[in-house]
Chain A
């Protein structure tokens, strides 16, 4: 089980959290300007990297707040945690 450091509550068990998938997928500012392929890319396509990934988590059974986690998808090591709206830390080790 992962120990996830919530920026507000500190380290808690993974079972208190829900993962919201890849982070930093911005909603296109002008959806009408997109063609179908671009819209599909926004809605469905994912990077799904083997290695470091930035993703969103919600402390559902705790404070209920969303935040970002950078995690290695092979080792599950958490590389950094930062709040919504904050820029991701410069490539963590």
Chain B
């Protein structure tokens, strides 16, 4: 293994030099007039795609175009929960591939992504929840993925501060737990992939907005951008909330709606909550960051939006649910609140594959839950672009499933919001 680029020693050495001589993590090149592959969108999925293209395939010259800054979209706005406890085989395999890649990612990228496998609990508040959750746990285990059912005493043992009293409005009747689930540092995932992709020759171009897609004779030929025209043999669209806007540039329609999903953090407090706790029924989920802040999310706003600004009643409902589950947090102050634009699909599953335009590929629809899928999605999408056909892992997630009817309904496992 190569020695870490960032360590206590490099920190001390650079502190002595007043932090003036840190080397850049990646170059900031001018875009070239043409590339073999251009990835649109410099979030985690786009950067991971570029990295695996450069590392595992003979794909030629590669660029990532990002209209803002790296990870400034949902990658830098999410609540970083990682797990692979999905119901259907197709999803289980894809999300588990991703979790496995996450487990080795700090080493692979030589960048500490601070993966913390502290366990993810999904609570059940009524008999139906409990049956559904038990069914899911069994399906997950049949796929060789760790998952257990806890009774209320088991929940209490995992999370002593949660209110398991039977006489509340939504009593806790049990939970599922995936112990390999947890959280990671979102910025580090974007930066780690960016640095590693750049080191393999990928041009990462920020402040470069794609404004048009040139298609000729049913084939993509290039992109129009705020920094000029860029010719490309292959283009991968990985633009999350803006996927419909980009697809429309190539004359395509997607089964996607863009909605605001909000999250917030509290003031930092001493370590009090170890695992991640999610509740589908009362609509809140929470974990405690290493800085001590509670990171809290809820459901998404009910109408289409590209504003990155959410509605107040969602915040109110989310706080009510938090205090219902954890009365101890009732006097905690909230520090920051923000929103991202999530791309939701009718079956709560992503679209990763080819499009009717030759050379144009799309990776979107991860909606409220794609952070956990970042490495696996990039890995499978890189294969799809390089080989011009999907990998077995992402073949079921083709755009054609909406015409064939082979939907992958994951509304249950997608949980509150991811």
Contacts and interface: CB of A to CB of B under 8 A. Distances in A.
A84 interface: no
Given A47-B253, A48-B254, A36 B404 contact: yes
B403 to A, nearest CB: 4
Interface in B292-323: 302-307, 309, 311-313
Given A1-B312, A73-B306, A44 B255 contact: yes
B402 interface: yes
Given A2-B311, A37-B403, A46 B254 contact: yes
A19 B303 contact: yes
A39 B346 CA distance: 15
A73 B404 CA distance: 31
A50 B255 contact: no
Interface in A1-60: 1-2, 13-15, 18-19, 21-22, 36-37, 39-41, 43-50, 53, 55
The prevalent SS among residues of A at the interface is mixed
Interface residues on A, range: 20 to 34
A63 B10 CA distance: 66
A77 to B, nearest CB: 11
Contacts of B255: 40, 44-46
A50 B253 contact: no
Contacts of A48: 244-245, 254, 256-258, 304
B258 A73 contact: yes
B63 to A, nearest CB: 24
Contacts, number: 71
B304 A41 contact: no
Interface residues on B, range: 20 to 34
Contacts of B254: 45-46, 48
A19 B304 CA distance: 9
Interface in A58-85: 71, 73-76
A15 B317 CA distance: 11
A44 B402 contact: yes
A40 B303 CA distance: 22
A15 B403 CA distance: 35
Contacts of A49: 244-245
Contacts of A74: 305-307
A57 B400 CA distance: 30
Contacts of A55: 303-304
Given A1-B313, A44-B402, A48-B254, A18 B346 contact: no
A41 B253 contact: yes
A50 B306 contact: yes
Interface string B248-269: 0000011111100000000000
B305 A76 contact: yes
Contacts of B136: none
A22 B244 CA distance: 14
B302 A1 contact: no
7 contacts: A19-B303, A39-B403, A44-B255, A46-B253, A50-B242, A55-B303, A76-B305
Interface of A: 1-2, 13-15, 18-19, 21-22, 36-37, 39-41, 43-50, 53, 55, 71, 73-76
Interface of B: 242, 244-245, 253-258, 302-307, 309, 311-313, 346, 402-405
